[in-house]
Amino acid sequence: MGLGGALYSGVSGIRAHQNMLDVIGNNLANINTYGYKSSRLLFSDLLSQTMSSGNNGNPMQVGKGVKVGSASSNFNQGTLEATNNALDFAIQGEGFFVVSGGDKDFFSRVGSFDTDSDNYLIDSNTGYKVIDTNGNTITVPYNSTVSGKATSKVDLTGNLDASAANSTSEVVMTTSALTSSSTAATASATLNSLDSNTTDYVAGDTILITGTKPDGTSVSATYTYAASDTVQKVLDAINTAFSSTDTTNGATASIDSSGKIVVKSNKSGKDNLSVTLTDGGSNTGKTTWSNHDFAGATYTTSVDVYDSQGTRHTVTMRFVKVGDNKWDLTASMDSSNGTISTSKISGIAFNSDGSFSTSGSNQLAFKFNGISSTQSVAFNLGTSGKSDGLT
């Protein structure tokens, strides 16, 4: 073909690359088109002329141009975008929406939907009706009501501190133990021997004792250090500040075998007990009391329970340790919501490895205001021998 063949090959390349530019341009033009999948163009040889066979070495072939082989779509996940239309949907991953044009069904990745005059869910661009997984059209039930579903079961998960003090009263204790020479401190350990003591106390240094008594009364007292004072001196100061001899509104401080300072209310039930220790601002000595903040040895959480009308009620769940690996749970809620006639789950027991063991009846009975019947709710605490619930 001579020079004409070379020109023809070049022209075929120009035409093929013109198509490629068309595809690229179309991709750019549709950059903001919902559901659009970009395309790419693949080329292939147009034909080849054999100049010699492969009798003496490799065969000789000369290409005669290029053509468009195929155009493929890129189905990688696109970026999801929030809209203000409650009927806009998007597909995360594989799949298509199916819409019906009457005699034909079509697949689409565009989830821009609306409703027509008959409340059918339709594609807002074409008016085609959206099809569900059973092949039926979808209607939006405007102005209809859905009856509330009452809560019948609550699954509880979480971890209760096995080292918490046993008590039916409010207890606060240091979150980390006091240690001396890396072993649990005792009441006889000197304050300057504590591992958390960064600078030795000197006579006249102070430790501020603040907090609230069980009834919420504020406490503010000062302990003054004397040479060789021990942890017991701090305990004595806490007992004085919190009126340890008062059986109705006092609290008693001690140190347990693990080295944690424990302050226990002298009355039963939940109250407002809190304790904080802080070094005086002009001290020479210093202990990082912030590493030993006091926290409750009772644990409180909340769950939402729905009544038969679909109204949500927040129920407070209070766990109290009553023995080694044994806890009680007491539920309460605001009186404006109603009452709990059966509000306690007793004897929640755990195995030595921390897994759930057993409990008493896990049924609580709620009497919500405005509803005549009592609602029973089962609280699933876990499977015996497993760690799939409370631990």
Amino acid found at 45: D
In a domain, 389, yes or no: no
Q: Is residue 195 domain-shared with residue 228, that is, in the same domain?
A: yes
Top pLDDT among 53 and 327 is at 327
Helices (H), 30-81: none
Top pLDDT among 316 and 1 is at 316
Q: Is residue 215 domain-shared with residue 285, that is, in the same domain?
A: yes
By CB atoms closer than 10 A (0-12, 13-18, 19+), residue 124 is middle
Q: Is residue 178 domain-shared with residue 62, that is, in the same domain?
A: no
- To the nearest whole number, what is the mean pLDDT of the chain? 85
Q: Is residue 252 domain-shared with residue 357, that is, in the same domain?
A: no
- Which CATH number does the domain housing residue 373 bear? 2.60.98.20
Structure tokens at 267: 């009355």
In a domain, 260, yes or no: yes
Among residues 41, 73, 105, the one where a domain terminates is: 73
pLDDT grade for 216, boundaries at 50, 70 and 90: confident
Q: Tell me how far apart the alpha carbons of residues 247 and 266 are, in angstroms, rounded to a whole number.
A: 5
In a domain, 388, yes or no: no
Q: What percent of the chain has pLDDT over 70?
A: 89
Domain count along the chain: 4
In a domain, 198, yes or no: yes
Radius of gyration, CA atoms only, the chain: 38
- pTM of the full structure: 0.45
In a domain, 111, yes or no: yes
Secondary structure string (H, E, C) spanning 110-130: CCEEEECCCCEEEECCCCCEE
pLDDT grade for 165, boundaries at 50, 70 and 90: low
Among residues 296, 331, 361, the one where a domain terminates is: 296
Domain residue limits at 131: 79-144
248-296 per-position pLDDT tens digit? 889 999 998 889 898 888 877 667 788 899 999 999 999 988 888 776 6
pLDDT grade for 307, boundaries at 50, 70 and 90: very high
Secondary structure string (H, E, C) spanning 133-145: CCCCECECCCCCC
Indicate if the pLDDT at residue 234 is higher than 90: yes
- DSSP 8-state assignment for residue 165: P
Would you state the pLDDT for residue 70? 80
Would you state the pLDDT for residue 47? 67
In a domain, 375, yes or no: yes
374-383 per-position pLDDT tens digit? 999 999 999 9
Q: Is residue 266 domain-shared with residue 225, that is, in the same domain?
A: yes
Q: Is residue 176 domain-shared with residue 277, that is, in the same domain?
A: yes
Among residues 28, 48, 73, the one where a domain terminates is: 73
In a domain, 386, yes or no: no
Indicate if the pLDDT at residue 319 is higher than 60: yes
Would you state the pLDDT for residue 206? 95
Q: Is residue 278 domain-shared with residue 336, that is, in the same domain?
A: no
State mean pLDDT over 60-85: 79
Q: Tell me how far apart the alpha carbons of residues 249 and 194 are, in angstroms, rounded to a whole number.
A: 31
Cα dihedral: 136, 141, 144, 149 (round 10):
60
In a domain, 385, yes or no: no
Residue of 77, 19, 23, 21 whose CA lies nearest to 44: 19
State mean pLDDT over 315-330: 81
- Which CATH number does the domain housing residue 180 bear? 2.60.40
Amino acid found at 291: N
Cα dihedral: 78, 82, 87, 88 (round 10):
-20
Rounded to a whole number of angstroms, the distance between the first and last alpha carbons of the chain is 86
Indicate if the pLDDT at residue 75 is higher than 90: no
